Structure 1
Amino acid sequence: MQKFVHGLAAIAALSVAGAAHAQSSSTPFDGPSVGVQGGWEQTNVRNPTTDLGIAPIKRHHDTGVVGGFVGYDKQVVPGVVLGAQAEVNLPIDSSFSRNGVQIDPKRSIDLSARAGYLVTPATLLYVRGGYANERVGTRIAANGVTLSGSESRDGWLVGGGVERMITDKVSARLEYRYTDLSNGDGKFDRHQVLAGIAYRF
């Protein structure tokens, strides 16, 4: 009888250990990743303050955007994932103008953190927030004089999305993001819808 009890205890211990190993090995959102993304971008400006002064323009401009990112995620408690990401994005047709003013967003560098919840073992819902920097060219022509310059605009971003594992190492995501790059009383902001593919190491 004693040997039988010891045998049951050993089987139970192995079962618990196996279940714990299966749970830990089924955590795909844990570790480094690299990826590419692309989608839609809209820039909105209203008399933005620039290095050349206030640019008298009010317009929104839609274009495509492509980019790449590196990230790191960690499941801190069961179901909860925290992560960080660095990325570079390039608009496809960025320049727009009105009334002698031209605005040309060239590239953006975003550094952000995210917090997510695993609605299934392979599906992560998340929110994102962080720092944004966009390189922007400006040209103002008035009274026969043309001024031009290029500046880096600092701002902040917030957004959210869903990411799902499609293989053991590859995930797909869809995300909406709002970025505020305003300076002073003017308006300079950006809306994006981005689809991405990531490879997880």
Structure 2
Amino acid sequence: MRKLMVATLLAGATVATPVFAQDVGPTFTGPRVEAILGYDRTGAGSDVDNDNGHDDQKIDGLLYGVGAGYDVNLGSAVVGVEGEYTDSTAKSSRTDFSDQFGFGRVKQGRDLYIGARAGILANPATLVYVKGGYTNTKLDVLAGDTNQETDTAFKLDGWRIGAGVERAINANTFAKIEYRYSKYEDAHINFANGATSDEFGIDTDRHQVVGSVGWRF
């Protein structure tokens, strides 16, 4: 009788194991959304020397926003596409027209990003990845000695690369940390009256260190 009970329990466990496994969905695959928070710094590029002892060499602040993407788990590797909408508290600290950031007295505005990423699974719950894509950001022009926006803005086009680590908390939630570098090389001005300038070349760098918490569907 005892042997019969043991055999019955073992058989039940064999049948139940696949059922339990189905309840835990695969990680790092499918659509995802996330909240983003981190450090943001924009400054002159390597081809620009604006260190005159007066002007702001950089503007930095808090980056915040949302992101979405879609990943495909290939087994030991993951590939995907993603997009972001972020904003920032960074702005020029100078109030004198003679002492300005490279674009004048400005506030970092919204940033749009679309790109792709690829990575390898360091273990079943940890993804190490690199990323790259297109970024378009805005610098809102401020009145010289106030924080009032003038409805004039610089629009900057560039590219972004980065790397990060994502950790699956469970089948649906995840957290990640990453570093991103953006290079802006083209810009135009949107004036308050609705006119737009011709495009002109620039050399502007942006560095970000961000953390994200998200949900995978």
Structure 1 residues 130 and 96 mapped into 2: Cα distance closer, same or farther (>3 Å)? farther
Instruction: Answer 1 or 2: which has greater strand percent.
Output: 1
Structure 1 residues 197 and 28 mapped into 2: Cα distance closer, same or farther (>3 Å)? same
- 1:10 is aligned to none
**Residues of 2 paired with 1:185 and 1:92: CA distance?**
25
- 1:3 is aligned to none
Partner residue of 2:164 out of 125, 143, 161: 161
Q: Is 2:217 aligned against 1:197?
A: no
Q: Is 2:76 aligned against 1:79?
A: yes
The TM-score with structure 1 as length reference comes to 0.74
- 2:112 is aligned to 109
Which blocks of at least 5 consecutive residues in structure 2 are unaligned? 1-13, 49-54, 145-149, 187-199
- 2:65 is aligned to 67
- 1:30 is aligned to 29
**Residues of 2 paired with 1:174 and 1:58: CA distance?**
28
- 2:42 is aligned to 43
The TM-score with structure 2 as length reference comes to 0.69
Q: Deviations over 1:64-120 (max 9, x none)?
A: 111101110001x32111011111111024344462521222110110100010111
Secondary structure of residue in 2 paired with 1:181 = strand
The one-letter amino acid paired with 1:27 is P
1:138 CA displacement: 3.6
**Residues of 1 paired with 2:36 and 2:142: CA distance?**
30
Structure 1 residues 70 and 148 mapped into 2: Cα distance closer, same or farther (>3 Å)? closer
**Residues of 1 paired with 2:167 and 2:136: CA distance?**
28
Determine what percentage of the aligned residue pairs are the same residue: 32
Across the two proteins, how many residue pairs are aligned to each other? 171
Kindly report which structure 2 residues correspond to 1:71-150, keeping only aligned pairs within 5 A, or say none.
Answer: 71-75=69-73, 77-97=74-94, 99-100=99-100, 101-138=104-141, 149-150=152-153
Q: Deviations over 1:108-145 (max 9, x none)?
A: 0110100010111110000000000001124697xxxx
1:148 CA displacement: 7.8
- 2:52 is aligned to none
